[in-house]
Structure 1
Amino acid sequence: MSRAGSNAGAGHSVERLRALFAEGEFPPAAAFVRPDLAPAAVLVPLVLREEGLSVLLTRRSRHLNHHPGQISFPGGRIDEADASPEAAALREASEEIALPASRVEVLGRLPDFPVGTGFLISPVVGLVRPPLDLRASPAEVDEIFEAPLSFLLNQGNHQRHAFPGEKRHYWSIPWKHYAIWGATAGILRGLSEALAQRENFR
């Protein structure tokens, strides 16, 4: 099957995503936005499947110090040796789930996302082309799975929660037996809002 035929189900979504990132500038590097927070980066991997785009997610190891057992994107702290948040996100994806950088087409970055554990996350959105031979790093990842992008971006599936006694809130997106929440759900919510805003102001 040709590349165009095998990815036909994802075509419209890919066009919308390309248009979104072609219109805006990248946000500033994390260290310059909030110098009190440690810069980190995650890869938001969108896999080109026949039935449409899916999102590649991981369940973090329950032995980690930060966010053990939570659903997340591949990623971590930006090292001094990393040339950019994009480079850090690709490196982390390779280390955590053996995703080769050569299989990823980086589309752009979403606005930086602060988390309560002292990190400022730069979400790097990339298209991932199968075939994939992924392997979880036992020290960091317990599980690798995919969920439909259309479901995760549908705001009807998003639930808003308040922190007890605070004005802040967070998002969750239940899918099957997975509880996607916190930064992962917040980043997906941000992508959903950015796409919706672009459609509204064409």
Structure 2
Amino acid sequence: MTHAKINPKTVPVDRVDHHLPAVPMEALQPQALRQRFVAPLAWEPEFLAEKKFLDRSPVSAAVLVPIIMRPEPTVLLTLRTMHLSTHSGQIAFPGGRMDATDADAAAAALREAQEEVGLAASFVEVLGQLPVYVTGSMFHVTPVVALVSPDFSLQLNPFEVAEAFEVPLHFLMNPAHHRHHLVNWQGVQREWLSMPYQDGDNERFIWGATAGMLRNFYRFLRA
């Protein structure tokens, strides 16, 4: 799904998950997150694959889900530049294609975060991974969850990243902010989530793959 075909902001909201409990603030603190990955509970991811809209071979990719260890933890997200060939102008985690030289998904996510936003690996503590998420553009994405020391500095790659910003983790882990959208596009019914966040004067329209991976993280933490 691309902006050239459909504007996700204009698709009506089908429902909002007000009935689901938020993840408690204490479960979002660094030590609680570390413990959850050390001793994960049984859980079921909710969003694993979008309906394919690009006919090509699968591409392995990895993204970093960077949780910044502020008194109230935040998630670092990026706004992709408009001229990129896939997912241009969308909000995303730092990340991209895996290279043959990457030892694993974590190595790929760390390399991409360094290349895209200048986040040095020395500030990052990898906690673990969430299930692979398959986008409609055939990226097989491994989300790598990590804690980030708050004294980091960023240097954005202006070709790929228009902006980097933070969203409170407790906002993203509260389903009262998770909106379901349904649309019939090219004869196929498609569904996705959005989690719009008002960041001062900017509405950060988090949707699609990024929102789907965040929803899986919610399910992981609520297990």
TM-score (norm 1): 0.83
Rounded Cα–Cα distance in structure 1 between residues aligned with 2:99 and 2:63: 13
Letter in 2 for 1:169: E
* C-alpha distance in 2 between matches for 1:63 and 1:152: 28
More contact order relative to length (CA 8 Å, sep ≥ 6): 2
Secondary structure in 1 aligned to 2:216?
A: helix
Please say if 1:172 is aligned against 2:198. Answer: no
| 1:17 and 2:43 correspond | no
Give the equivalent residue in structure 1 for 2:151: 131
Deviation at 1:13, TM superposition (A): 2.3
Aligned residue type for 2:152 = L
SS in 2 for 1:186: helix
Are 1:39 and 2:60 an aligned pair?
Answer: yes
Which residue, 93, 102, 114 being the options, matches 2:134?
114
Structure 2 Cα separation of the partners of residues 142 and 22 of structure 1 = 35
* Unaligned 5+ runs, structure 1: 1-8, 26-35, 198-202
Number of matched pairs: 178
* Partner amino acid, structure 1, of 2:191: H
Partner of residue 141, structure 1 = 161
The partner residue of 1:67 within 79, 87, 112 is 87
Paired residues of 1:10 and 1:48 also in contact (CA < 8 A): no
Between structures 1 and 2, the one with greater helix share: 1
Compared CA separation, residues 10 and 104, structure 1 to 2 (3 A): farther
CA RMSD of aligned residues (A): 1.8
How far is 1:114 from its partner? 0.3
How many angstroms does 1:169 deviate by? 1.6
TM-fit CA distance, 1:62:
0.7
Q: Distance in 1 between matches of 2:82 and 2:26?
A: 34
